[in-house]
């Protein structure tokens, strides 16, 4: 993965989601390509965290991505 945008940047993370398949042929099995947009609020060698909503009381909604497995790309949005 290239250099991450700065903390506080609005970003789009493209990632592969884990999927469960029941009663399917093996050839149909694959991760689901997804994207999530939010504010990059934390990044270290293990994870990247986006805040997707923030409430008036200071709490919020966060998405945590394992850095070395599911992330395909991260780019700063304008």
* Residue-averaged pLDDT of the chain: 94
As a whole number of angstroms, the distance between CA 4 and CA 42 comes to: 11
Residue labelled with tokens 């009381």: 57
**Structure confidence by residue, pLDDT tens digits, 43-67:** 999 999 999 999 999 899 999 999 8
Is the separation of the CB atoms in 22 and 16 below 8 Å?
Answer: no
Confidence class of residue 78 from pLDDT cuts 50, 70 and 90? confident
Residue 2 has pLDDT above 90, yes or no: no
Question: What local confidence, expressed as pLDDT, does residue 41 receive?
Answer: 96
Residue 1 has pLDDT above 90, yes or no: no
DSSP class of residue 27 equals G
- Percentage with pLDDT > 70 across the chain: 97
């Amino acid at each position: 993965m290239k250099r991450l945008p700065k903390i506080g940047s609005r970003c789009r993370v493209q990632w592969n989601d884990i999927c469960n398949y029941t009663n399917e042929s093996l050839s149909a099995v694959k991760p689901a390509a997804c994207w999530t947009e939010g504010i990059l609020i934390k990044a270290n060698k293990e994870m990247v965290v986006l805040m997707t909503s923030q409430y008036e009381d200071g709490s919020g909604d966060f998405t945590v991505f394992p850095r070395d497995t599911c992330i395909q790309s991260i780019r700063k949005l304008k």
